[in-house]
Amino acid sequence: MFVRGIRGAITVEHNEEAEILKATIELLGQIVADNHIQPDDIAHVFVTVTQDLDAAFPAKAIRQMPGWELVPLMCALEISVPGGLPKCIRLMVSVNTDKSQREIQHVYLNEAKKLRPDLSETTKS
């Protein structure tokens, strides 16, 4: 068994709590579904947001999901780079798995597909 990182990102249109929380759940749900994992498989989740998203902590949404109450979560600000993708939520899900790096399905949704077009071809939405 290995600890593997699963990356994901999603953008929102507005800096509003409900939209941030909904997008976080959508992204994590897609990561879980695409990689066939359970909360007990998760070592931790690291969440970043761009500086234009300050209406909510995305971890709040994850903590409210059934079975995710004990998963360690951490939120931080993404580095502000000129020309960077705005209104973006990123996840780094560290999972205990027997899958190889090639078998891991990273998920990029909405405008975040621009971040990794090489990986976004196989993602849904």
Show which residues are catalytic: 7, 63, 75, 78, 90, 108, 116
Q: How far is CA 29 from CA 19, 21, 26, 38, 92, in A?
A: 15, 12, 5, 10, 13
69-to-53, 64, 92, 95, 105 alpha-carbon distances in Å: 23, 7, 17, 16, 24
Q: Nearest-CA neighbor of 11 among 3, 23, 2?
A: 23
118: left (phi over 0), alpha (psi -120 to 50) or beta: alpha
- Asked whether residue 102 is marked as a ligand-binding residue, the answer is no
Instruction: Check the annotation: does 65 bind a ligand.
Output: no
| 7 has binding-site annotation | yes
CA dist., res. 39 & res. 69, Å (int): 9
Residue ranges of the annotated binding site for prephenate are 7, 90, 108
